[in-house]
Amino acid sequence: MRKLIFPVVLFSILLIGCTDSKKKEEAARIEKEIVVADSIAKEVEKAKQDIEQSIQSVDSLLNEL
Amino acid sequence: MLLFSVSVSAQKPQGKGKKQTADSVAVANKEKGKGKAEEKKEKKRSNEDGKKEGKAAKDTLEIPADTLATVEEVTEEVKAGEEEGKGNAYGKNKGDLKGKEFGQARAQEAKMNKEQKKKELEESLTEAEEKVIKGKAKVAEAREKLEKEKKEKKIKDADYQTRKQKIDDTEKAVLELEEKVKAEKQKKVQE
């Protein structure tokens, strides 16, 4: 009986450790995904604002002609 | 011998004192025990009273027996959980699940936001392309008109220069916009 206790405890500790690390990996992956998506969205928004500003300036110049 | 008797007489009262203190502690414990027992009895009495009152209230409010039974079951479960210290486990599990769900929802939201922004940029690029085409045409038309007026000597040289400068600036802005549109389209192709 005593011989069984040690391997069982060791196995359960390893199992807990593995599941915890998997959870952490998943959380890190999701976090990375969010950061990348947010950064792309910011970049795209900046580009859009730049284009719109250029359109407005061209528009005002064309009206002056 | 004298010394021995003195030491014995000196030790005796101490022993009594100890006994006395032990007795007083026992009495106090008994009293405490009595107090606890009385408290328990009082609690039981109050519970019975409460149940009686509950029954009275049930009679007056006419609450269905099923709902009362479920409420009682739930309260008993909660009490049992609190006694065993299981109350927090529910929260932990729930919290963990919520965190995971929240992360996934946040990722989904970020993706949707990115797609929305891309769509908006696409619309802006289409508008910009149209503006470039119209701008080029308008610039060409304005330049042609200016040259014609200059040929026919309808405008002064100073006016010609200022109008030409405006047309050049506009053309420059239009070309810049065209370059920006091209760059964004190239970025999109690279992605």
Tens-place pLDDT, residues A1-55: 778 888 888 888 888 887 778 888 888 889 999 999 999 999 999 999 999 999 9
Chain B residues near residue A26 by CB distance under 8 angstroms? 100
Instruction: Please judge whether A51 and B125 are an interchain contact, meaning their C-beta atoms are less than 8 angstroms apart.
Output: yes
pTM for this entry: 0.54
CA distance B135 to chain A (A): 7
Smallest CA-to-CA distance from A47 within B73, B185, B146 is with: B185
Task: Give yes or no for a contact between B101 and B150, defined as CB atoms under 8 angstroms apart.
Answer: no
Quick one: pLDDT at residue A26? 86
Confidence of residue B104 (pLDDT cuts 50, 70, 90): confident
Instruction: Show Cβ contacts of residue A58 under 8 Å, excluding neighbours closer than 6 positions.
Output: B131, B132, B135, B170, B173, B174, B177
**Burial (0-12, 13-18, 19+ Cβ within 10 Å), B102:** exposed
* B48 pLDDT more than 80: no
Confidence of residue B65 (pLDDT cuts 50, 70, 90): low
Quick one: pLDDT at residue B38? 54
What percentage of residues in chain B have a pLDDT greater than 90?
37
Chain A residues near residue B166 by CB distance under 8 angstroms? 61, 64-65
Q: What is the mean pLDDT of residues B146-159?
A: 91
